[in-house]
Amino acid sequence: MKRITGIGQYIAVDSPLHRLDAAAKLGLVTAYTVALFLVTGFPGLVAMAAAVAIATRVANVPPRAVARGLRAVGLLMVFTLLANSLRWQPAEALLRLGPLAVDGEGLRAGVFFAIRIMLLVTGTSLLTLTTSPIQLAGGIERGLAPLKLLRVPIGDLAMTLTIALRFIPTTAEEAERIITAQQARGASFDTGGPIARARAYTPVLVPLFFQLFRRADALATAMEARCYRGSEGRTRLREERMGPSDWVTMLGIGAALIGVGWWL
């Protein structure tokens, strides 16, 4: 029986990065991404890597937590490296492996792109490590606020997101309960090939989805009973707002990153 404490990688410590407003951090991640794609040479990548290293230090999080995100993209990095550096029977080559060959230029490009992927992932993981899912949802809502002018229902999307976050631990517990109950009736989830195993989950997924739909219905009724009419006209108990220091930090560092990216 596991108690799920929320999703993802958020590490709750104190640091200047943790205290920085979520929307400002989103802005910084955007600037960093732009800078990363403006960079044209290895010196630029080194500068971005330095930025990530400094940020990790400032964020008071262990480097290994930042590196953990790389597991997901390891395969992609290898693929990028190979796709760029291998050529079919080229004229010139550094190394030949039968009809394939490693091309000097291609290798350089492959390494560049692979490192860029790595820096992209580590940089953005700093965002999720220092921002709780709830703060992140709030930041996204504020960041996307200008889209309201285009009639995009940002407020409703944000409400959907926060409700989803609120129900992740509850749903996980529900799933665990159902799995255990079906196990008690003799169901087995770890025998047979992949197809058999997938089918074995039907007695778990059906009741779970049924419960989720039923709950959504009941929740909607309860929200209506508390006068929910959509996100127009709603106020908030705690209004997270960007303060002057948040603006300065975001614009200052953002500009610096883009400047370096452009120059290098």
Partner 1 sequence: MIEFESVTFRYRSGDAQALSGVSLRFGEGELVAVVGANGSGKSTLARLCDGLLLPSEGRVLVNGIETADPDRVTEVRSLVGMVFQDPDDQIVGTVVEEDCAFGPENLGLPASEIRVRVDAALAAVGLTGLERREPHLLSEGQKQRLAVAGALAMRPRYLVLDEPAAMLDPEGRRAVAAIMARLAHEEGHGVILVTHDAGDVARADRVIGLDAGRVVFDGCPADLLADADALARVGLAATNAGRLAEALRAKGFAVPVTAMDAESLVSALWR
Partner 2 sequence: MALIVSDVTCDYASGTSMASRALESVTFSLEPGRLAVVLGPTGSGKTTLLRVASGLLPLVAGSVEVDGAPVLGPGSVRGQVGLVFQRPESQFFALSVEDDCAFGPRNLGRTHAEARDDARGALAAVGLDPDMFGPREPWSLSGGEARRAALAGVLAMRPRYLLLDEPTAGLDADGRRAVAAVIRDACRDTGVLVVTHDPEVFLDVADEVLVLRDGRTMFEGDVPGLLAALPALSRAGVVEPPEVPRTLLLAAERGLLADCELTLDPEVAAAALASALEGRERAR
Sites of contact with partner 1 (CB under 8 A): 3-4, 6, 134, 162-163, 165-166, 169-170, 173, 215, 218-219, 221-229, 233-239
Each residue 170-209 as x (binds partner 2 by CB under 8 A) or -, in order, gives ----x--xx-xxxxxxxxx-------------xxx-xx--
**Chain centroid, CA 147 distance in Å:** 21
Which of 90/240 has CB closer to partner 1? 240
Question: In angstroms, what is the C-alpha Rg of the chain?
Answer: 24
Partner that binds at residue 184, options partner 2, partner 1, none, CB closer than 5 to 8 Å by kind: partner 2
Q: Identify the burial level of 124 via C-beta atoms within 10 angstroms of its C-beta, where 0-12 means exposed, 13-18 middle and 19 or more buried.
A: middle
Partner that binds at residue 143, options partner 1, partner 2, none, CB closer than 5 to 8 Å by kind: none
Q: In angstroms, what is the minimal distance from the CB of 163 to partner 1? A: 6
Q: Does 233 bind partner 2 (CB under 8 A)?
A: no
Quote the crossing angle between the two packed helices 42-59 and 244-263, to the nearest 10°. Answer: 160
Partner that binds at residue 196, options partner 2, partner 1, none, CB closer than 5 to 8 Å by kind: none
Instruction: Give φ, ψ of 102 to 5 degrees.
Output: -90, 120
DSSP symbols for 85-96: HEEES-SS-SEE
Q: Which residues bind partner 2 (CB under 8 A)?
A: 1-3, 5, 174, 177-178, 180-188, 202-204, 206-207, 210-211
